Copies of this chain bind each other. A is one copy, B any other.
Amino acid sequence: MSQSTPTHQRLAFMLRINPGMGEGYDQRHQQVWPEMLDLLSRSGISDYSIFRRDETLFLVLSIAADDTFDAVWQRIEADPINTRWQDSMAPYFQPLTNLRPNERFPMFQQVFYMP
């Protein structure tokens, strides 16, 4: 596409929550701890959407073009705020399946973009 060098890359992955836990999941995400939001921002994440239909979540976010998702996630995981958040959210999630080697999450590739 005829675009100038992009400053950000767009990443996406899918997660599944347990049956019947959708409304609770949504409620938790209407009141994410301010310190957790701050950690995500400081770690390099922006323009972060979570979409849900029933038990399927689709997460889309931006990081800097010269960063990597792995590096971003390591910065997040190094902070005890994240440990507390993930512990509190763990009951919602189904185990991850079909991961490829070295994948943390089932990552999607952006194959089309129109501004």
Partner of A111, one of B14, B26, B46, B114: B26
Q: Is there an interface contact between A48 and B109, defined as CB atoms closer than 8 Å?
A: no
Q: Indicate the size class of the contact surface on chain A.
A: 20 to 34
Chain A window 36-77, contacts with chain B (Cβ cutoff 8 Å), 1 for yes, 0 for no: 010011000111111111001010100000000000000000
The residue of chain B having its C-beta at the shortest distance from the C-beta of A46 within the complex is B115
Partner of A48, one of B14, B32, B47, B113: B113
Copies of this chain assembled into the complex: 2
**Known contacts A41-B114, A46-B114, A58-B58; is-contact A108 B51 (Cβ 8 Å):** yes
* Complexed CA–CA distance, A106 and B56 (Å): 11
Closest-CB distance, A1 to chain B (whole angstroms): 8
**Known contacts A111-B25, A111-B29, A114-B46; is-contact A14 B60 (Cβ 8 Å):** no
Q: Is there an interface contact between A109 and B60, defined as CB atoms closer than 8 Å?
A: no
The residue of chain B having its C-beta at the shortest distance from the C-beta of A36 within the complex is B114
Residues from chain B with a CB closer than 8 A to the CB of A60 are 12, 49, 51, 58, 60
